[in-house]
Structure 1
């Protein structure tokens, strides 16, 4: 009988960078949503974040696909339901390695991780398991994944500044689902702040400016 086996192999990862860690006091690591590309996702940040205040890095997920099935526009995905444990392990290792390499280039005083949609779940899993210090986490149009054990990982989330952002007309995360996430975080004594904007499942330039403002 045939059996399924695994083999770890190196991958070439791609990321897009705005600014440089050598001169910026803050490093932003921004994780795109399902079907997006890093080069497109970083564009709103380029319009808002000044290079003298922050370096913004958009890693691209390792799995790519034709969005219409056979040709044309290409999207990327952080994971699917197939071999999800392996994919989670792989992207955590990828993000750890990228973050360490960026810090070696200079000396950012803080790291701000922002995850959009599927990238929000990716950000949560990475922040929960990375040995690196993450100072701020923003979940935009996404949620803490249900399979992330907050009994185990709540101490990590209590050490950072957690922000939740949602468009009032977002079809992918309802007001009820958002409220349930709030309840779950409060049940584990995790502090957070919230922001909403008029709009749907997208980044919002004025809201990005709010997040980029000095604390």
Structure 2
């Protein structure tokens, strides 16, 4: 039987998590993107190293959810798959736009730092959005994340001379073979901003002590 595919536009609600109430005392907004199979409500806990009185953390979540185990108890989320990839990318960008401008409208101080963090699969999602949205970027941390193959050096013009870009990868990360480390390092050398490649002793995870060290180096306030 032959079949044809058609599309219909719908409007639906999608969540995001925050660590506190956004106030005029906040110094920085953090937008953080989880990896494959994670949920925002769990991922945001990694950022308890930040001083919550001065840092407002916003954890976004992939729009597709699925069961992680055979008992149908654990649930994770994904940003996209190869199936109808371009449609997923478009939906992601619309979702991120809504969350980003929702927070900006609630922020009372225009001089707040805008910081972005992406882990694993969330990295490609964040970079594609940054390329199109062109927001101010004070600090960008890419953790165990590869670069989208279609992006070139010129696509990173959302980074200025005042921006900081940190690329992080564990020396025991089993997914490191999927990341073009040579390409990443070449890119870092050709960007106008301050860049650093950080390697740590560990696997495919966000280690709090490593994250804390990086945050302190970027002059962001922590709880310690």
Q: Indicate whether the TM-score tops 0.5.
A: yes
Change in Cα spacing, 1:93 to 1:171, as seen in structure 2 (3 Å) is same
User: TM-score, with normalisation over the residues of structure 2?
Assistant: 0.86
Which residue of structure 1 lines up, in the alignment, with residue 201 of structure 2?
198
Residue from 161, 170, 173 that aligns with 1:170: 173
- Following the alignment from structure 1 to structure 2, what is the Cα–Cα distance between the partners of residues 176 and 38? 23
Equivalent residue number for residue 207 of structure 1: 210
Name the residue aligned to 2:89.
Answer: 88
- Contact 1:44 1:205 (8 Å CA) reproduced: yes
Is it true that 1:43 corresponds to 2:38 in the alignment? no
Q: CA RMSD in A?
A: 2.2
Q: What's the secondary structure of 2:176's corresponding residue? A: coil
1:32-74 deviation digits (Å, cap 9, x = unpaired): 000001111111212x011122111111111000113671211
Mapping of 1:34-183 within 5 angstroms?
A: 34-46=36-48, 48-68=49-69, 71-107=72-108, 109-148=112-151, 150=152, 152-158=154-160, 160-174=163-177, 177-183=180-186
1:85-142 deviation digits (Å, cap 9, x = unpaired): 1111111111111011011112351211100000111111111111432322111011
Q: Distance in 2 between matches of 1:20 and 1:168?
A: 37
Structure 2 distance, partners of 1:4, 1:190, is 45
Displacement of 1:189 in angstroms is: 6.1
Look up the SS of the partner of 2:31 in the other structure: strand
Contact 2:33 2:60 in 1 (8 A): yes
State the SS of the aligned residue for 1:112: strand
In 2 relative to 1, CA 107–164 (structure 1 residues): closer, same or farther, beyond 3 Å?
A: farther
> Which runs of 5 or more residues in structure 2 are unaligned?
none
Report the TM-score when normalising by structure 1.
Answer: 0.89
CA change 1:85–1:178 in 2 (3 A) is: same
8 Å CA contact retained: 2:159, 2:192: no
Output the CA distance in 2 between the equivalents of 1:145 and 1:116: 14
Mind listing any 5+ residue stretches in structure 1 that lack a counterpart? Answer: none
Give the structure 2 partner of residue 32 of structure 1: 34
The structure-2 alpha-carbon separation of the partners of 1:83 and 1:168, relative to structure 1 and needing over 3 Å to count, comes to: same
Q: Provide the aligned length of Structure 1 versus Structure 2.
A: 213
Deviation at 1:83, TM superposition (A): 0.8
Shift of 1:19: 2.4
The CA deviation at 1:20 is 3.0
1:201 Cα deviation after fit: 0.3
